[in-house]
């Protein structure tokens, strides 16, 4: 298995052996159970200790597209304890489907709010992902912003399959309450699900490339663009040669899936707006 980092690796592979039995998603008609809640409600639901480990998955058009091709990823998402809308494409699609979501719960913002809550509640966090200099700086930045925060440990996201057991053991020995995984999809979701019961943390959240942004290595879109859901445009401006292909592929898939869902509804099929 190749090494992984927090920067998007769209070709990262998963194994069907991770698929929980009997779990699946109806990808073609966008039958996804996404939490219809505000950021505040989500944070309050997740900030407190839980007797069972919880996996939270952030959903955007790219995640949905990958899950439509990868049964293991789709199964993990379906079995996750919570799914939140990370992308504006999801927000727009759900509005068209007649089940609007109250607000976008972006992974990077959810991470910040959960870190804030952990600092207030005396809970510790572990940071896994990105390059060594990035995650080292991120740990410093978070403590600067939240002096009461306890960081149980952190390490980079460059490790191979032979290192999985050691990485999991290190996280468990740290005693962290919350684990943030700044690594690419579909690896982070499937890997997190596989070892969820072994991390020792009661909350696990995959946040993709958020480490690079929060550590100051990658600029985030201006606040005005964030407010109007135009972060995708900012990423396209910053990385046009890479991002235009991703957006063309994933957005085309989302439009096609949305059209399929609407067509099935018009033909008298399942009214997914009533779910």
pLDDT digits (tens, 9 = 90+) for 182-211: 999 999 999 999 999 999 999 999 999 899
The closest alpha carbon to 171, from 211, 210, 125, 110, belongs to 125
pLDDT of 24 reads 40
Q: Encode pLDDT of 219-262 as tens digits.
A: 776 777 666 666 666 565 666 666 556 666 777 777 788 888 88
* Confidence label for 1 from pLDDT (cuts 50, 70 and 90): very low
Dist. CA 62–CA 185, nearest whole Å: 9
pLDDT of 270 reads 52
pTM equals 0.84
- Whether omega for the bond prior to residue 186 falls within 30 degrees of 0, making it cis, is yes
Q: Encode pLDDT of 123-172 as tens digits.
A: 999 999 999 999 999 999 999 999 999 999 999 999 999 999 999 999 99
pLDDT of 186 reads 94
Q: Judge residue 201's burial from the number of C-beta atoms within 10 Å of its C-beta, 0-12 exposed, 13-18 middle, 19 or more buried.
A: buried
Cα torsion at 76, 79, 80, 83 (round to 10°)? 100
Residue ranges of domains in the chain: 35-266
CA atoms within 13 A on the CB side of 122: 0
pLDDT of 55 reads 98
Q: Tokens for 109, please give them.
A: 């913002």
Q: Encode pLDDT of 21-79 as tens digits.
A: 333 444 455 778 899 999 999 999 999 999 999 999 999 988 998 998 999 999 999 99
pLDDT of 2 reads 32
Q: Tokens for 63, please give them.
A: 């995640």
pLDDT of 259 reads 84
pLDDT of 249 reads 74
Do residues 90 and 60 touch, judged by C-beta distance below 8 A? yes
């Amino acid at each position: 298995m190749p090494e992984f980092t927090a920067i998007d690796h769209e070709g990262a592979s998963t194994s069907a052996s991770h698929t929980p039995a009997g779990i699946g998603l109806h990808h073609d008609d966008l039958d996804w159970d996404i939490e219809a809640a505000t950021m505040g409600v989500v944070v309050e639901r997740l900030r407190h200790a839980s007797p069972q480990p919880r996996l939270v998955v952030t959903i955007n058009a790219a995640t949905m597209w990958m899950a439509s091709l990868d049964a293991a990823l789709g199964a993990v998402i379906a079995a996750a304890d919570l799914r939140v809308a990370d992308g504006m494409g999801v927000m727009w699609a759900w509005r068209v489907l007649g089940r609007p979501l109250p607000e976008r719960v972006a992974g990077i913002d959810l991470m910040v709010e959960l870190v804030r809550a952990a600092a207030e509640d005396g809970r510790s966090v572990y940071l896994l992902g990105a390059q060594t200099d990035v995650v080292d700086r991120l740990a410093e930045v978070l403590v600067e912003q939240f002096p009461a925060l306890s960081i149980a440990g952190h390490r980079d996201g460059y490790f191979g399959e032979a290192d999985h057991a050691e990485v999991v053991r290190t996280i468990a020995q740290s005693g962290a309450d919350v684990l943030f995984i700044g690594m690419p999809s579909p690896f982070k979701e499937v890997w997190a699900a596989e070892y969820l019961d072994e991390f020792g943390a009661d909350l696990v959240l995959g946040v993709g490339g958020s480490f690079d942004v929060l550590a100051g290595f990658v600029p985030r879109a201006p606040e005005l663009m964030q407010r109007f859901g135009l972060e995708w445009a900012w990423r396209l401006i910053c990385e046009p040669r890479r991002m235009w292909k991703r957006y063309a592929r994933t957005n085309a898939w989302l439009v096609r899936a949305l059209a399929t869902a609407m067509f099935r509804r018009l033909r008298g099929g399942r009214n997914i707006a009533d779910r």
